[in-house]
Amino acid sequence: MYPERAKERIRMQRAAPARSIKSRGLGRLRHLFINRSYALLWGSQAISVIGDFTFATTLILWVTTLLVRGQPWAPLAVSGILGATIAPEFVLAPLAGVLADRWNKRRTMLAMDAARAIVIVLLVPATGLVPLPFLPTQHLPLAWQLGIIYAIVILASACTQLFNPSMLALVGVIVPEPYRARASGLRQTASSVAAILGPSLAALLFFTVGVQWALLLNALSFVVSFLIILAIRAPTAAQAETAEPSESVLREFRAGLRFYFGNRVLVTLLVTSVLTLLGFGALNTLDICFVTQNLRAAPGVYGLLNSAQGVGLIAGAIFAAAFARRIGEARVLGLSLLAWGAIILVYARLSSVPPAVVLLCLTGFMLSTAQVAETPLLMHVTPQYLLGRVYAVLVPAMSAAELVGIGLSGYLDSTVLRSFHIALLGITLGPVDTIFTLIGLCILAAGIYAAVQLRGVRLTSEEAHPAEKLELAPMAE
């Protein structure tokens, strides 16, 4: 018989490995979302982004199937929704960037979530859910309905211009630098999943319970996001690092431009983002033509390719969140672009569906890893009080590049290269695969440029911010 104390010691030694394994498992789960504040922020964005995709799809279904059904100008009415979404990016981005730098980030996000919930609720009466007794037909005329839709979309998009740079700055406050690649990957994962779930959810709601409930669901998503952000507390010291609003908006924006174009890393991110989004817009525009002309497949295969690309976007975001920090964000960006460009060059030569599905999945993977790497690099070289203005330069440029890619590729395919066919070194080139080849070369050039310009860029190591100290203790409003 062992003495009682010896028995207790043996029992504890036997139980220790199990407790250690359990502790490590809980630690990994606890730090998957870095810290409590970022976990809350990520949750709010996952919900609101699903709401955004639901909202956009609901509006398109509403306009095309109910409001302008059978009208020859229906495509123009739908394009008006896209224009109303994008226009505030170019018109308001400079002002929004300066204001986001001036104002309290968390309060700005709360105000914008509340405003978006209210304006979307205001759209419900235009659906005809509530009769309007002051009108002869008790319903708004078609022109008024479309006008209200465009106005609400503009207002909601204007709120987004203030919300997004404030969110980026808040991430810089609550997430230490070694964990920003993971934060960027988690956010990209949420956006990619939302891009798949949102449209399906919108269609389900629209055709089962009606447009009103789809709109109310999106408004509710902003309410939930508001409540979650309300629970976030930012560190006092970090919140104090803001620019004093002593200069005019124009002067502050000019100061942001001077900083942006005087920084090698930021200029590199701008050039690579413009080249990649130019190619991404062209690929999305002409992929349906590639399916029918080059792959000689039914148009339904286009949906399969889109799904494959969506799977790649999710997988790339998860991979980058886990490994971008270890590999190095600058290296990940350059290698992703080089691989993406090479994949597009191969994709342009395909003539069968199965390899096309695989390669388009890989293009989504590479695009996602490149986008995940960009955010921590941007935040590494940008002072906290300039993040809004830096964001106001980069994001409109990316949107403009994608629009140019959409318009230019459509123009070239339908006019300049419409009858283009040539045999070169035993390779036959047509209009779509020629454009895709040029896109692949552009993205390869972007990868080489990034690899050269970002050589030597290193972010803070994780040793400076060990995982067990990630919870940010000093909190304040």
Sign of the torsion angle spanned by Cα atoms 448, 450, 456, 459: negative
Residue 477: enclosing H or E segment and its boundaries?
A: none
Amino acid at the residue 231: A
Domain boundaries along the sequence of the chain = 36-179+190-240, 247-460
Sign of the torsion angle spanned by Cα atoms 226, 230, 235, 240: positive
Helix/strand/coil for 411: helix
Tell me which residue of 103, 94, 159 sits closest to 392, measured CA to CA: 94
Per-residue pLDDT tens, the chain, 477 aa: give them. 445 554 454 444 444 444 444 444 444 545 678 888 999 999 998 998 888 888 888 998 898 888 888 888 887 888 888 888 888 888 888 888 898 888 888 999 999 999 999 999 999 888 876 666 656 665 788 888 899 999 999 999 999 989 999 999 899 889 989 899 999 999 999 999 988 888 888 888 888 988 888 898 889 999 999 999 999 876 654 444 444 555 678 888 899 999 999 999 999 999 999 999 999 889 888 988 899 888 989 888 888 888 899 999 999 999 999 899 889 999 999 999 999 999 999 999 999 999 999 999 999 999 999 999 999 999 999 998 899 999 989 989 998 998 899 888 888 888 888 788 777 766 777 888 999 999 999 999 999 999 999 998 888 655 545 444 444 434 433
Q: Could you tell me which residues are beta bridge partners of residue 423?
A: 428
C-alpha–C-alpha distance, residues 293 and 269, integer Å: 35
Backbone angles phi, psi at 225, to 5 degrees: -60, -40
CA 141 from centroid of its chain's CA atoms: 36
pLDDT of residue 316: 95
The count of other CB atoms within 10 Å of the CB of residue 204 is: 12
DSSP letter at 425 equals T
Tell me which residue of 413, 115, 182, 400 sits closest to 277, measured CA to CA: 400
Element counts in the chain: helices (H) and strands (E) = 15, 4
CATH architecture under which domain 247-460 falls: Up-down Bundle (1.20)
Q: Do 247-460 and 36-179+190-240 have the same topology in CATH?
A: yes
The count of other CB atoms within 10 Å of the CB of residue 419 is: 8
CA 236-48-272 angle, 5° bins: 80
Residue 354: enclosing H or E segment and its boundaries?
A: helix 353-381
DSSP letter at 292 equals I
Specify whether the CB–CB gap between 252 and 244 falls below 8 A. Answer: no
Q: Could you tell me which residues are beta bridge partners of residue 163?
A: none
For 339-359, write each residue's pLDDT tens digit.
999 999 999 999 999 999 999
C-alpha–C-alpha distance, residues 56 and 54, integer Å: 6
- Residue count (the chain): 477
Tell me which residue of 28, 20, 6 sits closest to 470, measured CA to CA: 28
Decide yes or no: CATH 1.10.1200.10 for domain 36-179+190-240.
Answer: no
Tell me which residue of 104, 218, 89 sits closest to 161, measured CA to CA: 89
What does the buried/exposed string (b/e) look like for 3-30 if buried means 16 or more CB atoms within 10 Å of the residue's CB?
eeeeeeeeeeeeeeeeeeeeeeeeeeeb
Task: Give the pTM.
Answer: 0.82
Q: Which tokens belong to 388?
A: 């809004």
Helices 180-208, 142-174: crossing angle, 10 deg rounding? 160
C-alpha–C-alpha distance, residues 348 and 367, integer Å: 17
Cα 128 to Cα 131, 138, 148, 221, 391: the distances in Å are 6, 8, 13, 22, 39
